[in-house]
Structure 1
């Protein structure tokens, strides 16, 4: 079945442009003109991905993403009218999967959507594999579920993928570039700070569950899985 994409932007011209381009690429599309309408659309029927403008009146895209992330892990592609690193970092920290700056090419947005959904598609039941256990950490690779001391910890797709990469080779130190290559393939253009933001999110989520030693930082090198003993 076609994957569904919700396009959220207060500019009707941009919505029309993206709906046309995504529809031409084979996606089922819907649209919302503001944050409140976007949340209502998500509640009515969760899309496979949300293309979400940051700068909207009343409720901006960051708040929409925050609320979406509070209840699920629907992939989010942010749009912004300015290439502001603060917006970019905050968006990534909230769990956004990618970020495009206006003005953009509709073909670029479609390509980013397709790339995100290819990664999301890895959650389908055809992907199998054993669970990974390390100390109190457990990863169910079939169910894409993470837990600490038998208590589930809700993660985004990207967060789970990073943790799975580290847990599959617990003695190995991964550079940020190596983590990016594992997630997206060689040559994918995201910054080291993006990985740092995801690592902070992982540490914060597991710290709330009682984990103080989930991921170790090796200064000047990168990250590896911690002892996960609590």
Structure 2
């Protein structure tokens, strides 16, 4: 099996060393960066399967780095935050981070988070490689849109591609597989993140708002992802599926 490559971005030498030893002991290849410039160079160079990113980088916010990365790549991002920085966590997830680790952390938690995010973003296959072009993937059609979540592809009614993060695609797939069903926020979080979330992760409203901005004509008065007051959400469009194995 090809070893997965993790980019560790932190300006603290001790933290970088701890993360590198932890990840290398589990079989990952690790590249280190101390700031946003080095991180962007590594991402643009390709081959990065996941990055851990400290929020409080010296002279720069990790949130700004994450936002810059999201303009060029959907590589999974695991934010590293200070204990109790709930606002930072919410903003990070809104930007497109896939998960977060709080300091101080235990190495087992780091590995569990990394394993979970990599599994959700594509298992053991190289990131962004997707499935073989000869292998059928479920294709969904709704309101003129065409989506192939397993290949991270979404096209608007005019055929133009729409850029979504890996988290956006997981959320969209949850709705596409369950059209016109009322889903509670807890159900959606379970379906998007499996068992790897806690009550502090309840930022589904922010994730839904971000997805609405990408697919709704008027996000303020959504026609596709509708709020069910006091319960959760429902995907109101008719969905057809093709290409399923």
- Please give the TM-score of this superposition, normalised by the length of structure 2: 0.85
The CA distance in 2 between the partners of 1:143 and 1:106, in whole Å, is: 31
Q: Which runs of 4+ in 1 moved over 4 A?
A: 209-212
1:220 aligns with 2:230: yes
Contact 1:36–1:59 (CA under 8 A) maintained in structure 2: no
1:20 aligns with 2:21: yes
The CA distance in 2 between the partners of 1:183 and 1:26, in whole Å, is: 26
1:10 aligns with 2:25: no
1:178 aligns with 2:187: yes
Equivalent of 1:134 in 142, 151, 165: 142
Secondary structure at the aligned position of 1:153 is classed as coil
Contact 1:10–1:33 (CA under 8 A) maintained in structure 2: yes
Q: How far 1:46 sits from its partner (Å)?
A: 4.1
- Equivalences for 1:120-199 in 2 at 5 Å? 120-122=121-123, 124-125=130-131, 128-149=136-157, 150-186=159-195, 188-191=197-200, 193-199=202-208
CA shift in 2, pair 1:187/1:157, >3 Å: closer
Secondary structure at the aligned position of 2:211 is classed as helix
Secondary structure at the aligned position of 1:71 is classed as coil
Aligned to 2:241: none
Aligned to 1:65: 66
State the aligned residue count. 227
Aligned to 2:112: 111
Deviation track 1:46-72 (CA, whole Å, cap 9, x = no partner) reads 410010000012222101100110112
Q: How far 1:138 sits from its partner (Å)?
A: 1.8
Secondary structure at the aligned position of 1:77 is classed as strand
Q: How far 1:29 sits from its partner (Å)?
A: 0.4
CA shift in 2, pair 1:210/1:146, >3 Å: farther
The CA distance in 1 between the partners of 2:143 and 2:46, in whole Å, is: 38
Equivalent of 1:202 in 211, 222, 225: 211
Contact 1:89–1:193 (CA under 8 A) maintained in structure 2: no
Where do 5+ consecutive residues of structure 2 fail to align?
A: 239-245
For structure 1, which segment, 74-83 or 13-22, has the greater mean C-alpha deviation from structure 2 after superposition?
A: 74-83
Aligned to 2:55: 54
Contact 2:149–2:170 (CA under 8 A) maintained in structure 1: no
Contact 1:177–1:192 (CA under 8 A) maintained in structure 2: no
Q: How far 1:142 sits from its partner (Å)?
A: 4.3
Q: How far 1:137 sits from its partner (Å)?
A: 2.4
Secondary structure at the aligned position of 1:151 is classed as coil
Q: How far 1:169 sits from its partner (Å)?
A: 1.8
Q: How far 1:121 sits from its partner (Å)?
A: 1.5
Deviation track 1:105-141 (CA, whole Å, cap 9, x = no partner) reads 1221111001100111257416743211111222114
Q: How far 1:192 sits from its partner (Å)?
A: 6.0
For structure 1, which segment, 91-100 or 75-84, has the greater mean C-alpha deviation from structure 2 after superposition?
A: 75-84
